[in-house]
Structure formats: C-alpha cells, structure tokens
Amino acid sequence: MSDAVHRQLRALSYPKESEMGLFFALAIPLDDPMSTKSISVAFFFEANYELPNAISRDEHGETWRRRRSIDRKTIYTILESKFENLGFPGRQCLLRSICETSRERDRLHGHNGLIGDLMRITFTPSSSAEEGLPLEYADAEGADMDTDCSLIYHSCPFSIYQYITDVLK
C-alpha cells in the first residue's frame, strides 16, 4: 500500500543559460489642460530569473534563496526615491500612501484585481513578517481613523489614489 502512495519527485530542467523575465509597467496619466497631448508618468519594474538547468534540488543552497528575495525596506527605499524624483517629499508621500491604504483596505481587498492587490500588499507594512522597519511605517498604518491622512502628512501634496481612482471604483 505504501508503494502506491509514494511518488517520485519530478523536475523540469532547461537548456544552459535559459532565463525568464517579468516586466511590469504602471502608467499614471497626467492631465494637462493647456495641451492636447497625452502625458503619463510611468514606473517600470523588471525581474530576470535564471531557469534551472540541472535536476539537483539544492544546487544554489539557502544563500541563493535569500539573495533572490526583495524585502519591504528595499521596496520602500525605491518608492521614496521615485517620489523624490517627481519632486515630492519621498518619505512623507510614502507614509501618506500607507495611511490611505489602511483606510481603503476593505475596498482594495479582492475587488480591484492585480492593481488593488499590489497596492494593498505594498502599502500595508503589517502584511509581512517583522522586518525591522522604522516605527513611523507602523504609525502611518495605524494612524487615527478620524483624521484625514492629508492633514497628518500635509507636506505631501497628493494622494497616490487620486491618480488611479477610476481603476479602483
């Protein structure tokens, strides 16, 4: 009976130097009443992965697994930098986005496809394991629900949700 339950593990290997890439672009249209042309701000994310070319299960070891993952601290650093490149105070706009996401969590969960899920996961620091993030991220997520996030983080002049409202409605 135990022979019938036991199944040999199967694996797939690819030719040497095979790679897989994922590319994701998020374009946010900007309204310019003075122009008839369409203007957008775009964020591009790309990830390339080497595909396994041998059946060995632990060829790269635990070090490789840790190296390939990206943590929330890195994502937040990248987002702060993007906000600053657009001329906004990076940390304050990131904190405002976290604050607004905590208020929109129910609306974002499961009803807005990939964009809603990405926004909810990205801007909810408590959705991942403890990573030693600064307390201000947790404070932004748990900010007083009766106070508007734009008042708490007043140095950030815009809401990221203003640019994608049509997608989330």
- pLDDT of the chain along its 169 residues, tens only? 455 566 666 667 778 888 888 888 888 887 767 777 777 888 888 888 888 777 665 555 555 455 556 788 889 999 999 999 989 999 999 999 999 988 877 666 666 677 778 888 889 898 877 778 888 998 999 888 888 899 999 999 988 888 776 444 4
Helices and strands counted in the chain (H then E): 8, 2
What contacts 94, CB < 8 A, 6 or more positions away? 76, 79, 80, 83
Q: Among 15, 25, 74, which Cα is nearest to 50's? A: 15
CB neighbourhood size of 50 (10 A): 14
